[in-house]
Structure 1
Amino acid sequence: MNRIRKGEIHTKLVICGNGLDLHVGFKTGYRNYRDYLANDRLTHGGRAIPIIEESDFFKTRKGDCWSDLEQSLTFDGKKYIDALVYAYDRDIDPNSADNSHNQIKAANEVQKKDPKDIAFQFTNDWFYEWLLNEYYGREEEVRNNYHGIVRDITSCPDNLYITFNYTPTLESIFGVDEDHILYIHNRFPYKPKLPFSSDDLLNDIFESGEKRFQFGSINNQIDEWIKYLKSIELKSNGKLMQLSQVEKDLQHIGWAFSKNLKCNYATMKSFLKEALIDEIVIIGHSFLGVDEQYYRDILVPMYKYKKWTFYYYQSDEMARNFIDKYGINEFDLVAI
């Protein structure tokens, strides 16, 4: 890796998304995760589905790919605060049945769609457990049976890789050196690199891993939510609603459903520093979806006049739209 960073070797930059895992044979689509959550024998995550998919605190989802889901996790913090105020900022008169009934009804409506209790589990704990079991339950089969074009793409030992996946597919299936890979949104552990061995390896991995993925929207404005919250003056005695607790809940929701773009920009720039990239290769990534800003702000400005190769499934429409939007002159479109 060091010799590349010193500018001695020209190489390709390969960018991967979940489409790579699907292509080689893993069942890692959102629908697969949703089915896992809905199975109450495995998890109690079924209660998260209506909150994520139906709550009007989130944006409407337009499709079933991960990019669509992550964009929909843009949270309307102000609407959430207003709903809490309406439900809880009142003093209950024990002599007024109507007052009590209305408060309970309003509170129940908020609680049904309040994501604070499932936020971290949905984007991390449940997600981590599902992905870990899916990946390592199928890893050997995929490694032995996949003989497609990606093996040729990853055969050069000098390539660099940016992966938006949380899985170690590049390492475990294709033998790519970990030092050549940037896991921009974190990942779960690659088991051959772990310092232990037991009969319950998956449980050991689950317990040892840093279960913190960057999963969600880049548009959650936590500071704006807190600013709006602090402008609220409660009319009640505060027994049913405490602004300090709401602030903690907002920070928790924002943290669970957001990506740290500023930090990731610095990490990506550092990873690419001094590398002599001749070609950009994209496999299975929604480059016009939730992660487009990485291309707009870093990758296109750095490599616009290099060759770009887009591997696509079924339709090349997204790739052509990207090419037109960013003025890419030298490109190949390859169906896989």
Structure 2
Amino acid sequence: MKAIVMTESGAPDVLQLQDVPQPKIKNPTEVLIKLKAAGINPVDTKIRTRGTFYPQQMPAILGCDGAGIVEAVGAEVEKFKPGDEVYYCAGGLGKPDTGNYAEYTVVEAHLLTHKPKSLTFAEAASAPLVLITAWEALYDRARLQAGQKALIHAGAGGVGHVAIQLAKLKGAEVATTVSNQDKARLARQFGADYPIIYTQTDFVKAALDWTDSQGVDVGFDTVGGKTFFETCPAIKVYGDLVTILEPDYALGTLKVARNRNLRISFELMLSPALMGLRRALEYQAEILAQCATWIDEGKLKIHLSQTFPLAEAAQAHQQIESGSTTGKIALLIDN
């Protein structure tokens, strides 16, 4: 089969289209999937640059997100059958016979969810990681409730645009940071009540003005760097701050967070896969099932801004690293 193979860490050109053996079902709980699309996430570019989580098992096929058609199932698989359309977040971290930048992959059945009927394969493939990340951050870490106010950073981005929608589905009001008017309009389409153009306005002052100087109930940092620390004064006393990135303490301190008694949480949706936490992985598949229902009901949308053919995975990585994209990017797999 054709696959994009990473033989070493480095620049995008380490991603090369190659012929590799097609993976086979080895366990009775596995499913062979004929991939139609693969989502691309910033974590893919980080793994490519820094190396995989399993460097001793190179070469690797990247791509955590995929969507495709069930080709065959193991003897103990009951929920899926050949011909079913599925989407999921699985593999792509460096283990052999995993990854979705390929024509076929094998996935454990408990990681799979039926694809939203209303989405294309490319749209579906771009959705899982960001949906799970936003859900766990807002619903599980921050315990967002109806009537609360949330500040979501980068509302036109991959995680941000679905986080706005999940917050609105919970009944919260949403302010979000964006870099320009076009992205502000896009954020409003996703349901944002108050887009803040951070290049023109101090987002902390804007958030405090929006909340009568109290601060928001929940801050969701999808940017990292100084933004994590700068968000602290925008959150109310005893509020929540969730980040998907590791704070760089050379850029700030948690003094304001401590003074305001903030509850700080970290969100890394890859932890269950890296730690082999079966129940947590099943829960993530349940999240995708609920999101699929909302998508097909028209309550949740996925913004796919650009697609590339499988052979142009390196160019897709360059696009992600440019920092100018909105929504998501996916690879189209023609097999």
On whether the aligned pair clears a TM of 0.5, the verdict is no
**Which structure carries more helix by proportion?**
1
- Whose strand proportion is higher, 1 or 2? 2
TM-score (normalised: structure 1): 0.29
Q: Which has the higher contact order (CA 8 A, sep 6+)?
A: 1
